[in-house]
Amino acid sequence: MNLTSILKFKTFFAIGLLWSLSAFSTDKIGGKWHKEALDAWKVYSNNQQASEGSLKEFLLSNQPVEILKYHEIACTKGNANFCYLAGLFQKTTNRDSALRNFRRGCEIGGDNNNCMTAISIYLENKKMRQAVNLYKKYSVNDSVFWDYSGDFMTGYKDFREMLRIACIEKHVPSCSILKRYDGSSR
């Protein structure tokens, strides 16, 4: 990766992290916590009722192991934001668990950062087929996000190769991104 690609990646990652952190700290609809967040709190706290203050205080506390447990429970209950945060907690220490959380968040939907991070881990681990399959399955949900991802990632050799394979397999968005950057569709 050249310096420009690295800076673009770090900028994109920081934007995604800030978005997810703001989403989790205000993980509410109409002023109420999402059902998944409340259900996870009941499981985590042995059926204690969560008050606005207690849940927020807990999530902002300095107890990473306990917060990770809560995030994983909320992820299994169907909250994509918490899947992303659980994956971030684990990315440097337990990549398999991190990948599992990012994949789960990607499957739940609502946060393409889960999908992009799972794909990045597959690419880093030289698992091109898994990366291509995940990309083809979920890139149709938000073409603007994936086109932007292509904007900064096409300089990244493995991501470009993933796009090339997906294009050969008739995945039109991949061909469009490649055409725009390479001047060809393959």
Same domain, 39 and 92: yes
Same domain, 87 and 159: no
Same domain, 51 and 22: yes
Task: For residue 134, give both structure tokens.
Answer: 């995940």
Q: With helix as H, strand as E and coil as C, how does 17-41 read?
A: HHHHHHHHHCCEECCEECHHHHHHH
Band of pLDDT at residue 27, cut at 50, 70 and 90: low
Instruction: Tally DSSP H helices, then E strands, for the chain.
Output: 11, 2
Q: Output the pLDDT for position 57.
A: 76
The pTM assigned to this predicted structure is 0.72
pLDDT tens-digit map of 160-173: 898 899 999 998 88
Same domain, 99 and 174: no
**Percentage of the chain lying above the pLDDT 90 cut:** 16
Same domain, 13 and 81: yes
Q: Output the pLDDT for position 63.
A: 77
Same domain, 120 and 135: no
Task: For residue 180, give both structure tokens.
Answer: 């725009």
User: Which among 109, 101, 97, 108 has a CA at the least distance from the CA of 84?
Assistant: 101
Report the DSSP beta bridge partners of residue 28: 33
Residue pair 84/107 in contact (Cβ under 8 Å)? The answer is no
Q: Output the pLDDT for position 104.
A: 94
Band of pLDDT at residue 155, cut at 50, 70 and 90: very low
Mean pLDDT, residues 29-47 taken together: 70
Quick one: which H or E segment has residue 16? helix 3-25
Q: Output the pLDDT for position 153.
A: 56
How many domains does the chain contain in total? 2
Band of pLDDT at residue 158, cut at 50, 70 and 90: confident
pLDDT tens-digit map of 100-132: 999 999 998 866 888 888 988 998 889 999 999
Last residue within a domain, chosen from 74, 91, 125? 125
Task: For residue 108, give both structure tokens.
Answer: 């739940």
Indicate the SS3 state at residue 97: helix
Q: Output the pLDDT for position 154.
A: 47
Q: Output the pLDDT for position 133.
A: 93
Q: Output the pLDDT for position 166.
A: 93
Domain span at residue 168? 128-186
Same domain, 104 and 38: yes
The answer to whether residue 48 scores a pLDDT higher than 90 is no
Same domain, 23 and 95: yes
Same domain, 83 and 144: no
Cα–Cα distances (Å) from 180 to 150, 151, 167, 176, 186, in that order, read 10, 9, 13, 6, 11
pLDDT tens-digit map of 65-79: 888 888 898 899 888
Same domain, 44 and 20: yes
Same domain, 25 and 6: yes
Last residue within a domain, chosen from 105, 125, 145? 125
Residue pair 86/106 in contact (Cβ under 8 Å)? The answer is no
Same domain, 19 and 54: yes
Is 171 or 156 the better-scoring residue by pLDDT?
171
The answer to whether residue 17 scores a pLDDT higher than 50 is no
Last residue within a domain, chosen from 110, 125, 140? 125
